[in-house]
Chains A and B, each alone.
Chain A
C-alpha cells in the first residue's frame, strides 16, 4: 500500500481564524485543504463545518459556499474578469442585476478599476489576475475561504501588497481563512496561526510567535531557520549601509 498523503491530522479552526498550512512540497498540506470543500474525499476521517460533516452535503453545493483561490489564479481563460468574478453567484441563480452590482463592489474591494470587468485574463498582469481570483472567491459571500499558494507566482512587492490587502478583507468581512503556503515568512507575517506539516503528519500547530521560539522538532526548527536567517542578514546589511553596526 502507498503511504497516505495525509496521516492522522486533526485541526480545529475557530471562526474568524486565519490559519496557514505550511510545509515543504508533498507534505500533504494541499490535500488537507481540499478535503474541506470535497475536492478530495478522505478514505478515513471527517471534516466538520459548524458541526456538520461535509460528506453529507453534495460537493457543488458545498463548494459554492466556500471561497477558493487557486494556485496561479485558476481563472477561466474564456471568461472576462467580470464573468469570472460572477461565476459562483450565477451558479447560485442570483439575479443578473445583483451579480453586476456585486462584481463592481468586489473590483473596488480588491482595488481594481471597474472597467477591468470586460478584460480577459490574458489581458491582465499576474497581480491583477490574483486580485480577480480573490474577488471571485469572495463573490458569493462565503464565510470560509481556502487559498492554495494564492500569491506564490507574484513579484515580492505585489505579493506583499496583495497579502496585506487580503488580510484586511479577512478582518473586515470576518472570514475564516485557510491558506496553504510553503513560504514560512509569508505564513508568519499574515496568519494568526500556523500548522506545519511533514510527510502527511502535523508536526507543529502554533502562533507565529510560538513558532519563532525554541523548537523541539528539528524539522520545524529547520523550516523556521530560513526566514530567521534571512531577516538577520537583511538587518546586518541594512546596518552596514547606515554606517556601522547598530548594536
Chain B
C-alpha cells in the first residue's frame, strides 16, 4: 500500500469517530428541536410560515459560511459568559460545528413532519376525538404514528445532508472526515481527498440505508425491519465512537492554517511534543484570521504564524519597520494585548519576493530589486491573483520606482508555468516555496527593506505562555529552520510527482535539524 493510502487508513478511526460524533449529535438535536416545532406548527399557520421561512433561509446559507458565522458568535458569547460566570464557551471545534449542522438538519425534518401531520385525514383525527382520546393521546397514538413514515423520509435526507456537511467542520477546528479533504486539497494529495470523499459517502449511504429500514419498518409496521434498522444505527454509532473513549485525552492542541507548510510545521511540532510523552491533537485547515483568535481564546495551544500577517491583521499596523524591530515590537504587543507568547522565529520567512530564472539573473547581473528596477521597463511581471492589490506591491513600487512594461496575474501554478515559457520575466513568489529550488529560481534581495518581513514565528496561547513542556519541545526549533530546509520540505509535499505526506516531510525536516546541530 502506498504511504498516503496507509496514512489515510491509520487516521480513519479518529476522523470517523469525530465525524459520527458531530453528525449524530447534530441530527439528534435537529430531531429534538424540529419535531415539537412541527407539532406546534400544525394548528398555527403563522408560526408554520415563520418556522419554514427561517429553516429555508438557513438552508440557503452555504454550509461553510454557516460554520464560519458561528465562530464570532460563540466568541462573543464566550466573552459574555466569561464576564458573567467566569467560564467561557468554547468557540472552536465541537460546539460551532454541532450548532451549525443542527440548524442545517432542521429544514427537511420540519418540512416532512409538517407535511405528514397536516396530511392526516381530518376524519381520522375526528374519530380519535370521538373514541375519547385527549388531544395528547390523539397526537401520540394517531397523528404521530400516521405522520411518522412521511417524516422519516425527511430524517433520511437530513442525515445524508448532515454527514456531507460535517466534512466542513474541519475548517472551524473540529476533526472530521473533512480533514482528509481539506489537507489533501492544500497539498494536492488526491489520494487523501478521494479517501475522505469516499469515507463520507459510505457513511452517508450506510446511515441512509439503516434509516430506510426504520422508515419502511414504521410504514409497514414491520417490527423486524424496525429493530434491525434501529440496532444497526445504535451499534454503528457506538462502534465508530469507540476510538474516542479509548483515546488518551490530548494534553496539547497544535493548530495549522490551511496550506502545506503549515501542515508540515504542525506535524513537526506535534511529533516533538509527543516525543516528550504528551498527547497532541491537531486542529488543521483553520482560516487565517480564525487561527490567531483560536490561540488567543485558548482553543489551540500553539501554531506558527508570520510576523507581517500578525503585524497588519492583528495589530492593525501599516508601517514596515526593519525585521528585528518588527519581531521585538510584535512580541511585546501580542503579550501585552492578548497574553500571547511569541516563542521565537523559526529562522525563515514566507514573504512575497521577486523571483526570476537563476541563470538569467546571474547572466544579466540582477541580484537586488534595485538591479531589477533598472531593467524593469523591458520586463513583464507575473503575479498571483492578489499581489497587485496588496500593500507590499505598493511599498516596493514606491521604494524602488518599479515600472514593468506589463503586469499579468495568474493562479500560482500557471504563474510558474508562465515564467518557464518566458511569457513573463519575473514573478511574485513566496520565499519558502519549494518550487524556488525545484525550478532553480533566484530570489532578489530587498536592500531598502521596503517589503514587510514575514518571519515564521511560533505562538503560544496565553495559558501556555510559560509552559515548560512546550518550551522544551518547541524551543529548539527557534532559529533552527533555514529557508532552504523549509523549501525542500515544502517541495516534498507540493511537487506533482512522488508526493510525500506532511508527516513524511516533517520527519525529513526533523532529520535535517538533527543533522544540522
Contact = CB atoms under 8 A, between A and B. Distances in A.
Interface in B125-142: 126-134, 137, 142
Contacts of A74: 123-124, 126-127, 130
A18 interface: no
A64 B131 CA distance: 6
A84 B129 CA distance: 14
Interface stretch (A45-53, A75-83, A178-186, A232-240): A75-83
Contact of A91 (B124, B126, B137, B145): B137
A78 B126 contact: no
A28 B127 CA distance: 19
Contacts of A78: 142, 145-146, 221
A75 B126 CA distance: 11
A136 B124 contact: no
A68 B129 CA distance: 10
Contacts of B129: 39, 59, 63
A177 interface: no
A222 B130 CA distance: 33
A61 B132 contact: yes
B515 to A, nearest CB: 74
Given A72-B123, A74-B124, A77-B124, A136 B132 contact: no
B145 A64 contact: no
Interface in B189-225: 221
B398 to A, nearest CB: 78
Interface centre among A59, A76, A120 (most CB of B within 10 A): A76
Interface string A71-99: 11011111000000001100110000000
A72 B142 CA distance: 18
A39 B134 CA distance: 12
Nearest to A80: B221
Interface size class of A (residues with CB under 8 A): 20 to 34
Contacts, number: 52
Contacts of A62: 132
Interface size class of B (residues with CB under 8 A): 10 to 19
B31 to A, nearest CB: 20
Contacts of A39: 126, 129-130
Contacts of B146: 77-78
A60 interface: yes
Contacts of B221: 78, 120
B51 to A, nearest CB: 26
A60 B145 contact: no
A33 to B, nearest CB: 11
Given A77-B146, A78-B145, A78-B146, A60 B126 contact: no
Nearest to B145: A78
A63 B134 CA distance: 10
A59 B134 CA distance: 8
A61 B137 CA distance: 13
B222 to A, nearest CB: 12
B130 A68 contact: yes
Contact of B131 (A72, A77, A87, A120): A87
A91 B130 CA distance: 12
A172 B130 CA distance: 24
Contacts of B126: 39, 70, 74
Contacts of B128: 76
B133 A60 contact: yes
Interface of B: 123-124, 126-134, 137, 142, 145-146, 221
22 contacts: A39-B126, A39-B129, A60-B132, A61-B132, A63-B130, A64-B131, A64-B132, A68-B131, A70-B126, A70-B127, A70-B130, A76-B127, A76-B128, A76-B142, A77-B146, A78-B142, A78-B146, A78-B221, A87-B131, A88-B131, A91-B131, A136-B131
**In the A-B complex, the 7 residue pairs with the closest CB atoms:** A64-B132, A74-B127, A63-B132, A68-B130, A60-B134, A60-B132, A78-B145
Interface of A: 37, 39, 59-64, 68, 70-72, 74-78, 87-88, 91-92, 120, 136
